[in-house]
Structure 1
Amino acid sequence: MTYLSFPRQHARTQRFTLGAPRAFAVAPGGDRVAFVRSRSGTEREQLLWVLDLAEGGADTAAVERLVADPAAVLGGADEELPAAERARRERSREGSAGVVAFAVDQAVELAAFALSGRLFVADLTAVETAAEGTAEKAAAGTGGGVPAVRELPVPGPVVDPRPSPDGRWVAYAAGGALRVVGADGAGADDRALAEPDGASVTWGLAEFVAAEEMDRTRGFWWAPDSSALLVARVDEAPVQRWWISQPAYPDRPPVEVAYPQAGTPNAEVTLALFTLDGSRTDVEWDRDRYPYLASVHWSAAGPALLLVQTRDQRAQAYLTVDRKTGATETVAVEEDPTWLDLFPGVPVRTPAGELVTITDTSGARALKVGERTLTGPGLHLRAVLDTGAEDILVTASSGETAAEPEIGEVHVYRVDHRGTDAAPVRVSTEPGVHTAVRGGGLTVLTTSTLDRPGAVTRVLRDGAEVARIASHAETPSLTARPRLLEAGPLRIPTAVLLPTGWSEDDGPLPVLLDPYGGPHGQRVYAAHNPHLVSQWFADQGFAVIVADGRGTPGRSPRWEKSIAGDFAGISLPDQVAALHAVAERYPLDLGRVAIRGWSYGGYLAGLAALRRPDVFHAAVVGAPVTDLRLYDTHYMERYLGDPREQPEVYEANSLVGDGGLVQAAEPARPMMVIHGLADDNVLVAHSLRLSTALLAAGRPHEVLPLSGVTHMTAPQEQVAENLLLLQVDFLKRALSGRPHG
């Protein structure tokens, strides 16, 4: 067996996610769970599987069945991704291949997915798919009998195919149009419901800020009776154009991207309702007041429901859509003087039609049904997973008022919404991080804990385990040993990782802070695998500190919103406070302190080296946002306002401005700046401007450009391995005082 270093193993397994089951869909009859999983912990190609469950109690027999193998379906040909699908995967940070996503009908009998821009449907009930021939042929749609997988002959390239609830049709985006085809496989009835009326127009796809910042990756929604669709029309004509070149390949033209930089126009997003016979009804709402379409929900419990936001995200409205006229009616309006967050799974309706939301009230993040608030300050709501006739399934962390805060834990709860005043019931039992999917009397519960690598996926019926869905993820070659604590007077959630086998007799350790430290980026989890890279750095001879300061999620609205208008003045002091608090517990060498980070963490690392050189002696600055005016509208304007109205806020919080470095203190500290040249989210312009400013100021730094790499870190194993090794070499040189370069 060939030995793999941890960095190589980490890259080859895509952070140990390959081989783990995900994307669960539970049949309403409780007899079937569809999911995707690769064959091993090192194979990128995801396959579509079904777990068959006979009705019964805890002794229920469960059998896994392969439904679709992309290699067989494509006849061994390599997968070729159309540009729109590559963009979708970049927005969702999807690095694997094959059936990375699928959609199902209401009965979870039919699945639709795209491979190489081609449209396929799979029969999820076909236990015996081939009278003659092998299971592999059945999964490929060949061999005797009825094939499990069929290709629908349609014009492509196909993006985001979705069956109608009744399973008779499949809608999909292709060539800027939204099209629909019969699911029976004939293909003769394929037609466009909505076609672009300009070169900058697309139907049925999410625009950049929706996919990147709002977690809305969809652009069309079926009516519950399968007779019509709500379809988003996106016109990118108002959006400025930027160009991303590939300097390593000067013969290739640059790629044009529509990027809505803070303070500039967004794409124009509208909605129309199309019936299957081709009629169109435009949906009307006050788009001048509420330009952002944040979410759409359409179920049998009531008319279609929209969540729309003002550009400053301090007000949002829940609207219902009249199918006949396209007019909208306001159900509820929320306002917040700071900003309003968006949450997974809401808005949604109960089966009785009541509106379900997550809202910030009385200092807590709570679950609300209609006008009733169902949870108190003891829970910090994270997402709604499912709404049932009696209860709502949610994920939540302990609130700030909890008697014993559970650092880094996320649990699954059932919340009764029938007006019984019953307390939420915890479904997950082990300390750790949990999520779930529910349907048909089954709950698929996925659990990660500190004391074991990876995750365990259990299938529960009436609270009792009836099956497990196997994971083929590899076991890491090292064991993470994070010590979780609350640091300093602010009780900052913090993980401390020390070298394996280290004891206090070995003396004080040089320190490496390894934060994300900003919005949407919780790092301190009560789970093993999130701490693996930090443990690897610790094993290179550092005391590693991971601190989730103010602005990070998972604690309270006040905690998250305290950074409004002031990234630099809140995020950086919290890292310093965590460092000094940990130094009171462990022997740290505060004369040798470094910091590393990526994205917001890269920004924070650069900020630390420039503004607090009295504390930090070196920084690894990965894919940083350095000039905050160059980032997108929905994200940056939420936190810092409109740069056209508050340019001084952007200048104060940026690393570089029109005049060069912003608020740089002495002495100058060495920095390693790393950036992917193909990054279309945080463009390499950020790092180039930083390097230019550092050079002009005579400050030591190294720049490591990653050719062909996007905002996701390098997918190539050797590059990913050497990227970590080069960081360690830089940090050791910087902290030892040896020369660089």
Structure 2
Amino acid sequence: MTDSYPRLAARTLRFTLGIPRNVTVSPDGATVRFIRTPDGVTRSGQLWELDVASGAESLLVDPQDVLAGADEDLSPEERSRRERARESAGGLVSYDVDGTGRWACFTLSGRLFAVHLGANAVRELPATGAVIDPRLDPTGRHVAYANSAGELRVVDVAGTQDRALVSPETPTQAWGRAEFIAAEEMDRMRGFWWAPDGRSLLVERYDDAEVPVWHIADPANPDRPAVEQRYPAAGTPNSIVTLWHVTLDGSAPTEVTWDHAAFEYLARIDWSEGSDPVLQVLSRDQRRSLVLEVDPATGATRTLRELADDAWVELSSAPRRGPGGRLVTVEDVDGRRRVCVDGTAISGDTWQVRSIVDVSDSGVLVTASDEPTEVHVVRISFDGSTDVLTQGRAVHGAVSGGGTTVIVRSELESTTTTVTVHAPGREPASIRVLSEPAPLTPEVELVRLGDRELRAAVLFPRDHVPGSRRLPLLMDPYGGPHAQRVLASGRMFLEAQWMADQGFCVVVADGRGTPGRGSAWEREIHHRFAEVTLQDQVDAVAAIAERHPDDVDAGRVGITGWSYGGYLAALAVLARPDVFHAAVAGAPVTEWRLYDTCYTERYLGHPATDPQVYDENSLLPLAPRLERPLMLIHGLADDNVVAAHTLRLSSALLAAGRAHTVLPLSGVTHMTPQEEVAENLKLIQMEFLRQQLA
């Protein structure tokens, strides 16, 4: 029997296994290294390299050989780190290469390994405790690593002198690891940074003593104790985060000083060759940010840039020093996200800059959008001129080094990904992609809806004959900030096409708050999650009904989503039953006071000073208004959007006498990578929607 699409999607991690990832380019541009699984269904990543001159690929590390076929054994700390990174694969999921190109290092099952790249020889290095995030010093002499005991340790590549550089003084302290908020909400997974000369490091220390303790229980196994987790819910204390300069000679560490009371978030760090470290710190309300330069010898800082915004300062790529010591940042200027050099914007009005790829003498290489659904690679010269390296309806990413640029491309008309290496004076070379072929090809139309020109994807069943029947409409949004669903990539709409093939017109619409359309567009949601994001979905329904009057039945509208999309789905049937007739809400945030500080306070303010904003955006007061079918789904092991969100909404609905369905998922976190769970979960959702919208 042929496996269903949901099972195939779960088995292949949505057809991403086999695609090269974690791509790096050597400083001389001669070698490209990457992680790739051996095929499209095996989850164990291997380390590979490509010789740019010959185009030949070589396998450097196979975890099966290193572990002699044994299964991986991950520490709780590593499992938590992978959950923050939404990492579902196994084997090698990360690695580091020194600046000389002689050594690479990685961790497997909490053990530390180094690879001599010239000899292609793997050796295990002695390490203490379960190893987390090992990194080589730029000169290739030492490996530093954090461990499960909260220490930052160092060992030389010869496998001697494993020693602690800094150790926690209390059980709530940890060195060299990113705290929960940095990893979950600020896209900062690192906790230490080597000096370019390899003689010292900047090391984060966090202390969770004041962070409330929550308990994540497993009701299906009452014999197991609940897992304690420090969770900084909105309005409660964050981790106390400090930064220290730590030398290898055993000297006492030096604390890096800034006004922690005014700027408690450590957001970005860069320590580039030929310059002192550059930090970006952020105020608790996120309306002010400083870019600081550090004197490593004294820990003193001086302000290079001060940023402010009435809503929030957007975090992007780390500020860094460019040629001649110029400060390169990404900032919101006149409604556009722009590259700035020493505070002056050099990118024009055409591009919304998404991230910095590389800074060199020739300019700043960025990913950017002139149309929100497309992402291109653009080189912006310091004089403001631009060179667009990619074209077409597609989404591109890039890495660069030594004049060699690797471009990853996913286009609208295809479900495959290409990885191409561009080196000066050579024909482009391709890195093999081993992903499984998708069992279907989405027939997706990207459109603009309504007065606000909402970007949306529209998918009908592939056998649908226009005008032959009016189908129920299924909205499939995320809809929240910092996440974009409508992009010119065919692979992104595989699941939407499968849902459409079940007998729906499926629409994915990005409303206000989503990236790619400028700071004013994103800030429309400030204090107004419920009002703004729901109204955009309502407008999308009306526009689709008007656009396809003979093919869509506006009297049968369902909505489904996960995480913020789950919040939006539940909100839709609670607040607008006149438009939405059934909803499936997966892992929804139902009460924003239960979600974390950094994300929630950025958009809704502090619950102590803005309680009415939290009340207006909570789903709990709306419970008595439910009159449409609602299915709530939640993983009971979710430590991001905890199951209390669904349980509290369910209790409020029960108290109001409102019938609803709850599907608890035992042992499942915010992700659902298990094949059987993912398959049956999607089949149950579709059956529920079919019945309710029949």
Q: Which moved more, 1:375-384 or 1:537-546?
A: 375-384
Partner Cα distance (1:726, 1:171) in 2 = 47
Partner Cα distance (1:545, 1:291) in 2 = 40
Match in the other structure for 1:645: 609
Match in the other structure for 1:45: 44
Check whether the contact 1:260–1:633 (CA below 8 A) recurs between aligned residues: yes
Could you say what secondary structure the match of 1:264 adopts?
Answer: coil
Match of 1:717 among 675, 679, 694: 675
Is the aligned partner of 1:510 residue 2:472? yes
Which residue identity lines up with residue 374 of structure 2 in the other structure? E
Match of 1:164 among 133, 137, 144: 137
Is the aligned partner of 1:106 residue 2:74? no
Which residue identity lines up with residue 333 of structure 2 in the other structure? T
Match in the other structure for 1:431: 393
Is the aligned partner of 1:367 residue 2:339? yes
Check whether the contact 1:346–1:383 (CA below 8 A) recurs between aligned residues: no
Residues 496-518 of structure 1: CA deviation (Å, up to 9, x unaligned): 01001201232111000000001
Partner Cα distance (1:385, 1:411) in 2 = 12
CA shift at 1:377, angstroms?
Answer: 2.3
Q: What does 1:191-210 align with in structure 2 at a 5 Å threshold? A: 191-210=163-182
Q: Which moved more, 1:616-625 or 1:688-697?
A: 688-697
Q: Which moved more, 1:368-377 or 1:152-161?
A: 368-377
Match in the other structure for 1:689: 648
Partner Cα distance (1:462, 1:645) in 2 = 57
Partner Cα distance (1:107, 1:308) in 2 = 31
Q: What does 1:393-412 align with in structure 2 at a 5 Å threshold? A: 393-398=365-370, 406-412=371-377
CA shift at 1:463, angstroms?
Answer: 8.1
Q: What does 1:604-615 align with in structure 2 at a 5 Å threshold? A: 604-615=568-579
Check whether the contact 1:11–1:720 (CA below 8 A) recurs between aligned residues: yes
CA shift at 1:390, angstroms?
Answer: 1.6
Check whether the contact 2:348–2:384 (CA below 8 A) recurs between aligned residues: no
Match in the other structure for 1:133: none
Partner Cα distance (2:400, 2:166) in 1 = 34
Match of 2:322 among 344, 350, 355: 350
Check whether the contact 1:407–1:484 (CA below 8 A) recurs between aligned residues: no
Match in the other structure for 1:462: 424
Match in the other structure for 1:143: none
Which residue identity lines up with residue 359 of structure 1 in the other structure? E
Which residue identity lines up with residue 333 of structure 1 in the other structure? E
Partner Cα distance (1:254, 1:269) in 2 = 27
CA shift at 1:300, angstroms?
Answer: 1.5
Match in the other structure for 1:401: none
Q: Which moved more, 1:439-448 or 1:106-115?
A: 106-115
Residues 418-468 of structure 1: CA deviation (Å, up to 9, x unaligned): xx342x111112320001000111100000001111210000013864311
Distance change >3 Å, CA 602–CA 463, structure 1 → 2: farther
Residues 677-721 of structure 1: CA deviation (Å, up to 9, x unaligned): 000000000000111111112222111111111101x22212111
TM-score normalized by structure 1?
A: 0.92
Check whether the contact 2:624–2:658 (CA below 8 A) recurs between aligned residues: no
Residues 36-91 of structure 1: CA deviation (Å, up to 9, x unaligned): 0000100000000111122xxxxxx2111011111110111110001111111000
Which residue identity lines up with residue 502 of structure 1 in the other structure? H
Is the aligned partner of 1:323 residue 2:287? no
Is the aligned partner of 1:597 residue 2:561? yes
Which residue identity lines up with residue 178 of structure 1 in the other structure? L
Which residue identity lines up with residue 301 of structure 2 in the other structure? T
Match in the other structure for 2:523: 561
Match of 1:341 among 314, 319, 329: 314
Match of 2:632 among 659, 673, 690: 673
Match in the other structure for 1:74: 67
Match in the other structure for 1:301: 274
Match in the other structure for 1:25: 24
TM-score normalized by structure 2?
A: 0.98
Q: What does 1:285-296 align with in structure 2 at a 5 Å threshold? A: 285-296=258-269
Which residue identity lines up with residue 248 of structure 2 in the other structure? L
Which residue identity lines up with residue 342 of structure 1 in the other structure? L
Partner Cα distance (1:251, 1:426) in 2 = 59
CA shift at 1:531, angstroms?
Answer: 0.7
Check whether the contact 1:412–1:426 (CA below 8 A) recurs between aligned residues: yes
Is the aligned partner of 1:625 residue 2:589? yes
CA shift at 1:330, angstroms?
Answer: 0.8
Residues 455-488 of structure 1: CA deviation (Å, up to 9, x unaligned): 1000001386431110100111111111001100
CA shift at 1:257, angstroms?
Answer: 0.3
Which residue identity lines up with residue 43 of structure 1 in the other structure? T
Distance change >3 Å, CA 179–CA 353, structure 1 → 2: same
Partner Cα distance (1:53, 1:465) in 2 = 10
Partner Cα distance (1:486, 1:685) in 2 = 37
Q: Which moved more, 1:431-440 or 1:697-706?
A: 697-706
Which residue identity lines up with residue 474 of structure 1 in the other structure? E
Could you say what secondary structure the match of 1:452 adopts?
Answer: coil
Could you say what secondary structure the match of 2:209 adopts?
Answer: coil
Could you say what secondary structure the match of 1:584 adopts?
Answer: helix
Residues 561-614 of structure 1: CA deviation (Å, up to 9, x unaligned): 100000011000000101111112113101100000000000000000000000
CA shift at 1:263, angstroms?
Answer: 0.2
Match in the other structure for 2:153: 179
CA shift at 1:407, angstroms?
Answer: 4.9
Where does the alignment leave 5 or more consecutive residues of structure 1 unmatched?
55-60, 130-147, 399-405, 737-741
Check whether the contact 1:309–1:315 (CA below 8 A) recurs between aligned residues: yes
Check whether the contact 1:301–1:350 (CA below 8 A) recurs between aligned residues: no
Check whether the contact 1:50–1:124 (CA below 8 A) recurs between aligned residues: no
Could you say what secondary structure the match of 1:376 adopts?
Answer: coil
Aligned-pair identity in percent equals 52
Check whether the contact 1:595–1:619 (CA below 8 A) recurs between aligned residues: yes
Partner Cα distance (1:649, 1:728) in 2 = 34
CA shift at 1:662, angstroms?
Answer: 2.8
Partner Cα distance (1:637, 1:340) in 2 = 12
Where does the alignment leave 5 or more consecutive residues of structure 2 unmatched?
none
Could you say what secondary structure the match of 1:212 adopts?
Answer: helix
Match in the other structure for 1:708: 667
Match in the other structure for 2:380: 415
Check whether the contact 1:611–1:663 (CA below 8 A) recurs between aligned residues: no
Could you say what secondary structure the match of 2:56 adopts?
Answer: strand
Match in the other structure for 1:243: 215
Partner Cα distance (2:153, 2:563) in 1 = 37
Partner Cα distance (2:28, 2:379) in 1 = 20
Partner Cα distance (1:154, 1:11) in 2 = 35
Could you say what secondary structure the match of 2:139 adopts?
Answer: coil
Check whether the contact 1:262–1:642 (CA below 8 A) recurs between aligned residues: yes
Check whether the contact 1:595–1:616 (CA below 8 A) recurs between aligned residues: yes
CA shift at 1:301, angstroms?
Answer: 3.3
Aligned length, in residue pairs = 690
Partner Cα distance (1:432, 1:686) in 2 = 37
CA shift at 1:96, angstroms?
Answer: 0.3
Which residue identity lines up with residue 556 of structure 1 in the other structure? G
Which residue identity lines up with residue 44 of structure 1 in the other structure? R
CA shift at 1:20, angstroms?
Answer: 0.6
Match in the other structure for 1:494: 456
Match in the other structure for 1:115: 108
Partner Cα distance (1:37, 1:322) in 2 = 40
Which residue identity lines up with residue 493 of structure 2 in the other structure? H
Partner Cα distance (1:328, 1:246) in 2 = 46
Which residue identity lines up with residue 435 of structure 2 in the other structure? A
Taking only aligned residues, the RMSD between alpha carbons, in angstroms, comes to: 1.2
Partner Cα distance (1:313, 1:205) in 2 = 22
Could you say what secondary structure the match of 2:652 adopts?
Answer: helix
Which residue identity lines up with residue 114 of structure 1 in the other structure? T
Partner Cα distance (2:214, 2:82) in 1 = 20
Q: Which moved more, 1:461-470 or 1:672-681?
A: 461-470
Match in the other structure for 2:684: 726
Match in the other structure for 1:140: none
